[in-house]
Amino acid sequence: MTNSISDLEHSEVILVTGSNTTEMHPVISSALKRAVRKRGAELILVDPRKIRLQRYASAWLRPKPGTDVAWINGLLHVILRDGLQNDTFIRDRTQGFEEMAELVKRYTPAHVEEITGIPAADIERAGRLYGRAKKASIVYAMGITQHTTGTDNVKSLANLAMLCGNIGIAGGGVNPLRGQNNVQGACDMGALPNVYSGYQQVGDAAVRERMALFWNVPQLPKVPGKTLTEITAGVLSGQVKAMYIVGENPMLSDPDLRHLKGALRNLHFLVVQDIFMTETAAMADVVLPAASFAEKDGTFTNTERRIQRVRKAIDPIGDCRADWSIIADLSTRLGFPMSYGSPEAIMDEIARVTPSYGGVSYRRIEGVGVQWPCPTPEHPGTPILHKESFTRGKGVFHAIDFEPPPEVPDAEYPLYLSTGRVLYHWHTGSMTRRSAGMSERVNRCEMEISAHDAAKLGLENGQEALVSSRRGQIAVTVTVSEKAVRGTVFIPFHFAEAAVNELTHGLRDPVAKIPGIKVCAVKVEPAPVSESR
């Protein structure tokens, strides 16, 4: 996030897209609701489903799945046509504007309606709402990124924010909501294939030399590693022989699960480190029992870049240990001694090798934490990024044309499938499905479908149905819902017994390599009596 969570309450206009915020990020959704109810903010919601935030929206756009670049270009077109852009910001702080402006001339509201299904009048209204605001923020989540055009989607949102000068100001910004509690911290620490901690590039010789000197090794690799989706391909080609999976359950969360299962079975050696025997751990040669958040000390860095303490509430149960302790012992046995005495000692090392964390210490984060960049002990932290300039100097506009999803409905598979979460379960359910209270609220996989589509397919509420794609088939319980949009079914991915990622494809964004989980084509039919659960 370029801005803070609390900053959302000071926006005049908030555009939320690709985020079922009330169910995925309920605390942040409270801030959005307060902004509307108590401060009079206008909410633009872009989501095909009638999610709970729709009640608070001044404008609700319902695009066809996978058409995000088109509707964003439509808003850019309206803003430029009506002269609502921030010319000073564009002149002083950006480049590439002319190419972008020329491209979006073609994205008239009428043309955007043809692509997205959003009425032209709604594009007009949303464009003017965002363009006229003195401070407007953008909030998005994995409904924007988990596409084969995910990088283009994010760049398009950045175009929108820069066009109106909504970067570097209170109440503005581009604010991705992280999907898990420490995914921001994991990325900050270099859990990406092309960077060290603090996003220091592996390809930068000066960075490699400095890190090698600190760690007392002769040299470090200059070639980036592989993303998760590339690793899977590497296993099947025989290039990758072993995997060490920590705190992740890809046998439910990754796309095209049959493909992934084949890859994991092809490994010579699989190690899984986790707090429960997950579906992935069940396939491992070795399982290392890890301590839960309540059994260890450390830090989480949340979605607003705030580094916060995690404190041990109970001693580890049984043989489980803190992740850092397991990794340090394993590294030592492999020939590189790690002798940290505590998580605090690790944070001290992080501060020494990571410029953006240079001023972070346990003493500094005893209370509410601090937001990076925090380069020195005297630095107060950074609630708002890019106030004076962008990290690279000038921000770049990108001229991005719409590309349709690689798989769309046809005669054989006539419906879109979208996946996500429900309020009462989290990610692959390895924790929440072991909670009696959570499972009492939602204990089965339910497919959300519109009344129109249900009637057309001969389906009734509570009935069992089979959902099939070109990759697999699952059985689900039908829920006829007003939240659903015609032509699209929604299925959560928490349930191993109806693993929706059996259906999704593994086609990837060419830049970020993220799979296009959010759009694929399926067919739905009543389950034969013998196949009903």
Q: For the chain, give every domain's residue range.
A: 6-177, 183-371, 415-531
Q: Are the C-beta atoms of residues 163 and 104 closer than 8 Å to each other? A: no
Note the pLDDT of residue 435: 82
Q: What share of the chain is helix, strand, coil (3-state, %, to 5)?
A: 35, 20, 45
Which architecture does CATH list for 183-371? Answer: 3-Layer(aba) Sandwich (3.40)
Shortest CA distance to 70 belongs to which of 46, 98, 97? 46
439 or 216: which leads in pLDDT: 216
pLDDT exceeding 90 applies to what percent of the chain?
Answer: 76
Cβ–Cβ under 8 Å, residues 421 and 433: no
**CA separation (Å) from 294 to 256, 274, 310, 316?**
33, 14, 8, 8
For residues 281 and 267, give the distance between their C-alpha atoms in angstroms, rounded to a whole number: 14
Give 284-303 pLDDT, tens digit per residue.
999 999 999 999 999 999 99
Nearest alpha carbon to residue 362 among 383, 377, 347? 347
**pTM > 0.85:** yes
Q: With contact defined as beta carbons under 8 Å apart, do 351 and 375 qualify?
A: no
pLDDT (average), residues 245-252:
90
Q: What pLDDT, on the 0 to 100 scale, is given for residue 467?
A: 94
Of residues 533 and 100, more confidence is placed in: 100
Give the whole-angstrom CA distance, residue 60 versus residue 77.
18
The token pair at 355 is 């410029």
Residues present in the chain in total? 533
Q: Where are the beta strands (DSSP E) in 112-194?
A: 136-140, 174-176
Residue-wise pLDDT tens digits, 169-189: 999 999 999 877 788 999 999
Q: How far is CA 348 from CA 216, 282, 345, 459, in A?
A: 17, 36, 5, 59
- What is the identity of the amino acid at 26? P
CB within 8 A of 160, min separation 6: which ones? 15, 72, 75, 76, 79, 130, 138
φ, ψ dihedrals at 281, nearest 5°: -60, -35
Task: Work out the angle between the directed axes of helices 68-81 and 109-116 (0-180°, nearest 10).
Answer: 170
Q: pLDDT at position 531, please?
A: 53
pLDDT at 530: 62
Q: What pLDDT is recorded for position 533?
A: 46
Taking the domain 415-531, which CATH number applies?
A: 2.40.40.20
Largest CA distance in the chain: 69
Q: Write the DSSP assignment of 41-64 as a string of letters.
A: -EEEEE-SS--GGGGG-SEEE-PP
Structure confidence at residue 223 (pLDDT): 92
Task: Return the axis-axis angle of helices 68-81 and 150-163, rounded to nearest 10°.
Answer: 20
DSSP conformational letter for 425: -
Tell me the C-alpha distance between 3 and 26, whole Å: 18
Considering the chain, what is the average pLDDT of its residues? 92
Q: Region 386-406: what's the mean pLDDT?
A: 93
With beta carbons less than 8 A apart as the criterion, state whether 23 and 423 touch: yes
Whole-number Å distance between alpha carbons of 33 and 19: 14
Categorize the per-residue pLDDT at 514 as very low, low, confident or very high, splitting at 50, 70 and 90.
confident
d(Cα 373, Cα 360) in Å, to the nearest integer?
Answer: 9
β-pairing verdict for 520-526 and 415-420: antiparallel
Helices (H) and strands (E) in the chain, counts: 18, 21
pLDDT reported for residue 416: 93
Q: Look at residue 257 in the predicted model and tell me its pLDDT.
A: 83
Region of 318 (left: φ > 0; alpha: ψ -120 to 50; beta: rest) is left
Homologous superfamily (CATH) of 6-177 is: Dimethylsulfoxide Reductase, domain 2 (3.40.228.10)
Spatial distance between the Cα atoms of 159 and 248, rounded to a whole number of angstroms: 33
Q: With contact defined as beta carbons under 8 Å apart, do 158 and 97 qualify?
A: no
Instruction: Assign 146 to helix, strand or coil.
Output: coil
pLDDT of residue 423: 75
Find out whether the peptide bond into 343 is cis, omega within 30 degrees of 0: no
CA–CA distance, 288 with 283 (Å, rounded to integer): 13
